[in-house]
Structures are given as structure tokens and as C-alpha cells.
Amino acid sequence: MSITSHRLLTRLYGDLAELRDAPYPGVSVFTDDANIYKLCLVLTPPSGPWKDLSLHFDVQIPENWPASPPKIRSTVEGIGHPNLFGGYVCCDLLKQVYSGRGYDGGYTPALTLRGLFLQFLTFFSSSKVEQVGGRVLDIGDCVQRKFVLEKDLQALLEDIEIGASYPLSRYSTAHLPQNSNEHAALARKWDADQSPELELGRYQGANQGASGIIIHKTKSMAPHPQRIHALESESPQRRNTRQLLQQTAWKCKTCPYGSRRLPYDATEIDEIQDVRMEDALEVLALPSTCALDMLPDDCLYVIAALLPSESIISFSEAYPRFRNLVDSSHELLRRELTCFFLRTSLQDSILGIGVALDAKARVLSSDFDWLSEEAFTKHNVRLSIRKNSFGYFLPLAFNRYHFHKARTVIWRCLRIIDTDLRLAQSVAAERAGRGYFKPVDPLVNTPERKHEEVRVVFQMMNNVVVSLMKSCDNVLASRSNQGNLLRASERAVYAYCHLFHLAICLVRTTPAIFDDAETTIRHFVEDPVHRVKARVPDMGELIVKITLVLALAPSKGTNISWENISGPVLEEVIIRNVLWVLKDSPELAVMERGRSNYRLALTLLRSKTSLRLVMFQIAFLNMFVSTYSSNLSYLDEHYGFPHKQVPEKMVEEIKDIYTVDTWFGFFQKVNFAKGAAFGPDVFSDMLRQAVRTSAQRGYHSPAQLPRNVEKTRADLEGRWKGESGW
């Protein structure tokens, strides 16, 4: 057996062990001793049309599992589910490739067999089934009800007692006739009444089948003509399926399906004899001394390592000492760090993320699904859980042990990504006729310049912030649930934090990274010559470097602060925005004198998106520097995960950012105290100087301005009645 096949088989054994060690009610799995790839799956839905009926499926696991989904067929044909065609199950969870614009559901190798079967159980437990195109089909429930007022009840009860045909199925709440307005109104009143249901009696319906019991219920004990009664019976869906299973009487030769141990209808299982009360009290009585207190911490650590996560949570709730040990060792956090394809742990593999490069946009991105180097190189995994493709692998730090193990691979992967990124940037620069990006430089791969490849990490950190702002724009524009804002913040903060941790670990072993970043920042602050795009192509990446330097400054003994850096950074941001401001308002190229409310307001309006992005970037800078500069070891101890409260704090920061609508508010948000003291007169002159500087550097060309722009400017400013924007 090859190593590749052995790894896949190990993954399968792990999934089967999870099914054995962490069983789930309603899911029974039986293996075939002669063939590990064949399983019997018995689902007993806890709700829906087939509640408490046992449904048997044959499962064939492919030899390349989990690259391909298993094949699952219903053993008994004729079950009336809209997605069952004979034995064939139509479900996107069983399709290796499920097409659909923007669709990221369906099968993924990240699903364990337990997770897949649980989703399958949900599929058969729902009374509503989504179809192709988003249409939802209502297939009813396991019971049907007819609601009737007390004044009309007697006639129905007499029909039942004399064995008359009782067409209860016409009154199913899931399939009411269109003209049944009165019945629908009674159903709504019944549902609105929060009183408990009271059973008044049971009747045998003549045409309801062998177990066609009709249950009579109400919610009030006081007789009244307007009291609502409910007559409840088995739905046709459940009855037909139950009768089909009983008539077919199929029994499995591999598992106990069809026997008294696992009957077709779970309600027929013999009830377990009640335990004698005195025996129960004896078992539940608290001992005089807790035996667990005699165990040393080391034993509890071993126990924690062997328990399923659900058991750890339950044990922690029952035993505070165990909870403290689990929390201090971050056991549950560690368990999250497994390769989604091979399910290998941080201890047994080099773990990282898949990285995608959009060569046209020169953008690096990742879904941050944990992936092992082995899954990427030997099993050719190139799709994330959300079905996004990637072409590169980048290990993350997680902790000191893993970083030391993965360091050589990290630099190799950074070199590969950096080379292709530089090539894409060179091609883009040649097409645009600008030399903002250096071409691929052989010197980068020499020992002296090797550390420059860390710019891949800086760019990814910047892209995380850009992506978050786009997500927030969409959430706030659509006025969707604010929970979406928190989820977007969590994803971004987690991604940024892991990359931030990786950068810190790289600095520890390669001090030249910090030295270069600090030198770049000092030159940028001290000399405008070092601020041009040829020296600093991306301001977002510069802010990332500033974040890293400020976070490490206390440990490095470096005297550098945001107060000294902020002025030149914000000045350069405004200068680079001139091109886009003039594109929408070319009349601002005309230079007036003194205070100009029109210039202040229009520049703010046309720069809204870029200034908002700067506020996002500086929000991350403030959050991470203030949280981790005094305790960098926290990230090592918590596998690179941030504090729990950081995403929530970031949401509040984001909400504040979207309320900023003045220059004064902008300067406050980016912690630029000097800016608030400028005043509208001084700042108007600074905006005019920014236009001149942009032209001098060639960022925009004054020759491209339209004719009569001066007259247009005079007319527009003369009619301007708005605020100054200050």
C-alpha cells in the first residue's frame, strides 16, 4: 500500500472511530467485516414526515475518500420523498461538483462521515425540502390535525365512534384546501395559545390502518362552545412509508435492520424496564469524597486528550477543576487545528492555508481553511471548503514548536508566491506604462535579500482589511442582520491575527525584517523623496509594516510612535487621492486662495472610500498594537488566535467609522491630534498643495483637464450651499 493510500485509509479509520466514540441519536452505522468501504446507514428522523421510522441506506465509500463523496442508496424503494427516485438519492451533499453561481454548499472533504450523516439526517427530518432554483417544497409532518370548535365537535366524534369514513387527511395543516379559511384561522389561534396541550381521549379510526389512532386534544379544561379541539392522526406520508416497510419486510444480512433490535418503526421497540427508585437514588447519591480530586493534573490532561470534544464540555461543566485545566491548556482550541482533508493534527503535520493569486488584480487571498502540506502536495487539494480555488500553500506559525518545524517550508512557500506575485506586478506595470513595481529580481533569492519575501504576508494582511471593508459595505448597504457584521469581523480578525503572528515569528528568527521595516518607516517620515509610489507602492502595506514595528517596539527598545508617523502617512494618502478626486471633480484643479468650503467638502466626498479604508487599516493597527505589544507571547500560547473580545470591539470600531462625515471626525478616528488643530483655512491650503504635489510627481496630468474648467469651477462654487465638510 502506498503512503498516499495509507493516509486516506487512516482518515477513514478516524471517521469511523468518531462515529463509534461520539454516536448521535437517530444515526446508526454498521461496518462490513469483509469490506471497510461498505457501510449500512440507518437513519431514524426525530421529526418530519418520517419521525421514528428507521430508513436503511447502503453506503459505498470511495477509495480516494475524502476527495470524492460516498455513494448512498435507499435500500427500500418507493419512499415518497421528493428527492428519492427509486433507490437514488438526489442530494448535492453526494455530488462531487455541484454547479451554481455563487453556490458554496454541497459536498466538501472537510465533512467527516459523522458530519455528512448528520446533515443527511436533517435532510430526512425536515418538513420543507429545498429544490433546484431555491424553490421550497412543503412535504408535511408526521401527524395531521383537524381543528374544530366545541360546538361542532359532537358530530365528528359520533362519526368516529360508529366507524364512519373519517377524511382527516383533507385537514392536514400542511395541505389545507384553499377555501379552508376558517380552519386556518383556528390553527393560528391554536398555535398562538401558549397553554400546554391536554389529551382528552384516543379513538380508533376505521380507515386509518392498523395503528390509525386519532388523538383528541385541547388546551383548556373549561368547557365552552368556542373552545378549540384538535384531532390528530398519523399523516399519509408516514403511514404509507410505515406500511411499505412492513409489507416489504426487508432484513439486512449485515446489520440488525428489520429485527426486534432495530425495527422499522422505532416506537415498537420494547420499553426498557424502569430502574427501581432505591437503586437510582443509590447511584445518584454524592460520595463523601470526590475520587477525581485524588487524581493529579497530569492524569486529567491525559483524560482530556482522549475524550471527544462534547464530553470535554460536559465534564468541564460538571467539574470546575477539569474546566480550569482544559482552559489553561487550550485543549478545545488545539482541536480546531486539523487539516480539513486528512484530519491530521498540528502535532503530526505542517499546517497552513491555501493561497490564491489573482494575477490580473495582483491580489493574494485565502479562505483560511486549515490545510496540511501533505494534502496540498501529495493529494493535490486545490479547493477550499467554500469551493474557492487556490494554487499555493503557506504554513502558519500557530506556536513556537510548529513554527520551528515549518520554518524552512514557510520560506520556500513565500519565495514561490513572491516570485509569481512580482511577475504579475511587472506585467501589470508594463501594460500601464508605469514602473511602480520592481520586476523579478534574482537578488531576492540570495541570503542577503531573502527576508524581502515576507512582503507576501504584509500584502495578505492588507488584503484582509480591504476585503473586510467591502463586506461591511455590502452588509450595511443591504441593511442585513448585524450578526453578518460580527461574522465578517471575526473572519477578518482571525485571518489578520494569524498572519500578524506569522510575521512576528519570522522577525524573531530573521531580525532583518524588522530592521528593513523600521528603516522604510523612518525614511518615509524624514524625507518626502522616500514617499513616492516607486519607493512605497501601497500605503496599506506600509501601515501593516507600521503595525508590526509598533507592536515590537517595546521589546526592541525602539523609540517610535504613531504620533510621529501619522502626519506624513495621512499627507501621502491625501496626495495619492488627488487623481481620483480630480477624476470626479476636475474643477478642483483650479487654485483659489484662502478658505474654500467647496474644496473641503468635495475632496472629502470624492475621497470617502479611500479615507474609510485608511480608518479601517488604522483601526486594526490600534487594536493589535494596544492588545499585543505588551504580551506577544499570548499569540504563541493561543495558537495565533486573538482574544475573544477583539472581533466584538472591531464591530464597534466599524460602526463608528461609518458615522464619520467630516475632516475633523476623520482626524479624530485616525488619532491625528495635529489635524484637528489645522482649521478649515490652513487645511484648504494643504489640499491645494496636495494637488500641486500630485502633479509634480506625475500621479495626474494637468494637461488632461477639460476646457473651461475655471469657469465651471466658479459656477459650481458660486452655487455651493452645502457644508464645508470640516
Q: Which of 310, 336, 312 is nearest to 324 (CA)?
A: 312
Domain with 300, as residue range(s), is: 291-335
**Residues 472, 605: one domain?**
yes
The answer on 530 and 606 residing in a single domain is yes
Per-residue pLDDT at 423: 93
What lies within 8 Å, CB to CB, of 341 at 6+ separation is: 11, 66, 67, 109, 110, 371, 372, 375, 379, 381
Q: At 662, is the secondary structure helix, strand, or coil?
A: coil
In a domain, 519, yes or no: yes
Asked if residue 602 and residue 468 are part of one domain, the reply reads: yes
650 within domain boundaries: yes
Domain end among 81, 110, 138: 138
164, 124: one domain: no
Contact 258, 249 (CB under 8 A): yes
95, 110, 138: which is the final residue of a domain?
A: 138
Is 520 part of any domain?
Answer: yes
Q: Are 202 and 213 in contact (CB under 8 A)?
A: yes
> pLDDT at position 176, please?
35
Which of these three, 300, 335, 370, is where a domain ends? Answer: 335
Shared-domain flag, residues 471 and 581: yes
Model pLDDT for residues 501-531, shown as the tens digit of each residue: 999 999 999 999 999 999 999 999 999 999 9
Contact residues for 197 (Cβ-Cβ < 8 A; gap 6+): 217, 218, 219, 230
What sign for the dihedral angle of Cα 581, 476, 491, 331?
positive
Judge whether 517 lies within some domain.
Answer: yes
The answer to whether residues 628 and 548 belong to one domain is yes
Specify whether 188 is located in the same domain as 324.
no
pLDDT at residue 692, rounded to an integer: 94
Count of domains observed in the chain: 4
Q: What angle do CA 394, 397, 399 make, to 5 degrees?
A: 155
The ranges of the chain with pLDDT < 50 are 164-179, 208-210, 271-275, 435-440, 442-444
Report CA-CA distances (Å) from 581 to 314, 659, 722. Answer: 59, 21, 18
Question: Distances in Å between the alpha carbon of 323 and those of 131, 205, 296, 314, 691?
Answer: 44, 55, 14, 9, 61
Which three three-digit cell numbers place residue 660? Answer: 464619520
The predicted pLDDT at position 1 comes to: 56
621, 672 in Cβ contact below 8 A?
Answer: no
Distance, in Å, from the CA atom of 229 to the CA atom of 86, rounded to the nearest integer, reads 39
Burial annotation 317-353 (CB, 10 A radius, 16+ → b, else e): eebeebeebbeebebeebeebbbbbbbbebeebbbbb
β 84-85/55-60 pair status: unpaired
For the entire predicted model, the pTM comes to: 0.85
Residues 659 and 539 in one domain: yes
Residues 100 and 212 in one domain: no
Q: Is residue 630 part of a domain?
A: yes
The phi, psi pair for 58, rounded to 5°, reads -90, 130
- 656 and 516 in a single domain? The answer is yes
Same domain for 613 and 673, yes or no, is yes
Inter-residue contact 172 to 79 (CB < 8 Å):
no
Q: Are 183 and 198 in contact (CB under 8 A)?
A: no
In this predicted structure, what is the pLDDT of residue 273? 43
Residue 529 lies in a domain: yes
How does pLDDT run across 246-267, given as a tens digit for each residue? 998 999 999 999 998 999 998 8
| Judgement on whether residues 672 and 616 belong to the same structural domain of the protein | yes
Name which of 515, 636, 465 is nearest 628 in CA terms. 636
In a domain, 28, yes or no: yes
Q: Is residue 470 part of a domain?
A: yes
Give residue 235's pLDDT.
87
